[in-house]
Structure 1
Amino acid sequence: MAGHQHTGQASGTHQLPAASTGQGCPGQSTTKGDIVCYYGSRGQPEPVVLTPGIYGLSNSLLDTPWRKLSFGKQLFQEAVEQSQALSKDALVAQLLGVLNNEEAQLPDPAIEDQGKEYVQPILNKYAAVCVRCPDYGTRTNTVILLDVEGNVTFTERSMLDKDPTRWETRTHEFRLQS
């Protein structure tokens, strides 16, 4: 799973495991019958059960069809497809690269409509997976890797003192208890 946080905006892309139907990649089934749900302060009044797949979340509802969200999901899918050939450190680095992609995904009518009061250079920054604006934007990236044996690698990259040139990365590894 991968995700990141914005000040004033939550965003990320996540791959959910296959349900316990026996389909999908080995080790992706939820043998305990676990389910994953989405719930937010807007949208459906009850949690929404998510089926296996890749989802994206930005400054709106789950899978809002913004170009930056679609682009981020595409980059994430590419990382997932290459993951078996990568070392754990290389995979974490690639996922952090996805979360820090600053390529503006314009034109995007949804971004432009929402940001009518902003000038075009600011909209260009809002239209990227990674937002870098004064006093607003990506401040933390989180990558969580979970293997079939329950080993977890939790890596978080955080901006220091609101300075986009200074970051600290911390990694914690542990095993889930059964």
Structure 2
Amino acid sequence: MCIAYLSLGHPGWPVLIAANRDEFHARPAKAAGPWPGRPDVIAGQDLSAGGTWLGWAAGGRFALLTNYREPGRPTPPGAPSRGTLVRDYLLGSDSAADYSQAVAAHASDWAGFNLIAGDARQVCYLGNRDPSGRSRALVPGRYVLSNHLLDTPWPKARRLREALDALPPERWTQDPDQVFDLLHDTTAAHATELPDTGLPHAMEQLLSSPFIISPDYGTRCSTLIAIRADGAALFSEQSYDAAGQPTERHDWRPCA
């Protein structure tokens, strides 16, 4: 994932997630679906390193990951794929707090990441570039995460948050296309608003919209997860080609 919105703690809809995954188009991946041998897990698959970026598992467990943008900083020698952090939580049984604390104990093994893991009862955030060095439980509220720390107010993060804050929770499952339309926002930030992450100006501009289109790198898919208070859930994913045009669309209504 490269941008994700979360709404936590609504009485009728305790978990709402809307996210875009940005990646090189040449990197092989499998669209979201039930995993072979583990049909209780729904997630995409990175076919290069075996992990995933976002997924849902029976019991209402979910996790998502974004990379922390830090050009020029070398990856730790022998670093595991960051996608294994989401994969291992979905396949395991540890609570979000226990899992996040265990990862935090050796978080420097990975390149920069942000991890959100949880269920309808508890959600935890861990960023291994967070100065606190600790995971923390998220209180009810609305959050946005891109390629910096949680709730860093980059222009793209502010745009997406404002748009999804205005959409009533029940609309997410009644008309998921409304969520995908808001995620498909190609509005770039004004030059004066761009963050300075060490990338060339043209690249900062390209990456400044919630939905990214370019021949080599861009938004590969948009995903919606909605968990209702009674445990009913919706997992919906729309895939896109390099021109930003929709391709595969899949919807599941698993029982949490």
Instruction: Classify the secondary structure of the residue corresponding to 2:127.
Output: coil
Whether contact under 8 Å (1:15, 1:55) holds in the other structure is yes
Q: Does 1:94 align with 2:178?
A: yes
Quick one: distance in 2 between partners of 1:87 and 1:114?
33
Match of 2:3 among 3, 11, 23: 11
Whether contact under 8 Å (1:145, 1:153) holds in the other structure is yes
Query: Once the two structures are superposed, what CA deviation does each residue of 1:111-162 show, in whole Å capped at 9, x if it has no partner?
Result: 2x2355233xx544321111112322211111011112111110011235x4
What residue number does 2:62 align with?
A: none
Quick one: distance in 1 between partners of 2:135 and 2:244?
35
Quick one: distance in 1 between partners of 2:164 and 2:226?
13
What residue number does 1:175 align with?
A: 255
The 1:107–1:118 alpha-carbon spacing in structure 2 relative to 1, beyond 3 Å, is closer
Report the more deviating stretch, 33-42 or 135-144: 33-42
Which amino acid counterpart does residue 88 of structure 1 have in structure 2?
A: T
Quick one: distance in 2 between partners of 1:151 and 1:83?
14
Instruction: Classify the secondary structure of the residue corresponding to 1:70.
Output: helix
Quick one: distance in 1 between partners of 2:126 and 2:234?
25
User: Which runs of 5 or more residues in structure 2 are unaligned?
Assistant: 16-118
Whether contact under 8 Å (1:102, 1:125) holds in the other structure is no
The 1:51–1:107 alpha-carbon spacing in structure 2 relative to 1, beyond 3 Å, is farther
Which amino acid counterpart does residue 200 of structure 2 have in structure 1?
A: E
The 1:87–1:133 alpha-carbon spacing in structure 2 relative to 1, beyond 3 Å, is closer
Quick one: distance in 2 between partners of 1:94 and 1:27?
17
Query: Once the two structures are superposed, what CA deviation does each residue of 1:13-46 show, in whole Å capped at 9, x if it has no partner?
Result: 110115xxxxxx35649xx992211113321422
The 1:33–1:133 alpha-carbon spacing in structure 2 relative to 1, beyond 3 Å, is closer
TM-score (norm 2): 0.52
The 1:173–1:106 alpha-carbon spacing in structure 2 relative to 1, beyond 3 Å, is same
The 1:66–1:126 alpha-carbon spacing in structure 2 relative to 1, beyond 3 Å, is same
Q: How does 1:63-78 map to 2 (within 5 A)?
A: 63-78=151-166
Match of 1:41 among 122, 128, 131: 128
Quick one: distance in 2 between partners of 1:106 and 1:155?
31
What residue number does 1:59 align with?
A: 147
TM-score (norm 1): 0.73
Quick one: distance in 1 between partners of 2:120 and 2:208?
38
Quick one: distance in 2 between partners of 1:33 and 1:15?
11
Quick one: distance in 2 between partners of 1:153 and 1:53?
20
Whether contact under 8 Å (1:96, 1:141) holds in the other structure is yes
Whether contact under 8 Å (1:55, 1:73) holds in the other structure is yes
Percent identity over paired residues: 25
- 1:110 to partner: Cα distance: 4.4
> Considering only aligned residues, what root-mean-square deviation do their CA atoms show, in Å?
2.6
Instruction: Classify the secondary structure of the residue corresponding to 1:114.
Output: coil
The 1:28–1:146 alpha-carbon spacing in structure 2 relative to 1, beyond 3 Å, is closer
Quick one: distance in 1 between partners of 2:12 and 2:173?
18
- 1:61 to partner: Cα distance: 1.1
Quick one: distance in 1 between partners of 2:172 and 2:139?
28
Query: Once the two structures are superposed, what CA deviation does each residue of 1:86-122 show, in whole Å capped at 9, x if it has no partner?
Result: 47341x11111121111123245442x2355233xx5
Instruction: Classify the secondary structure of the residue corresponding to 1:156.
Output: strand
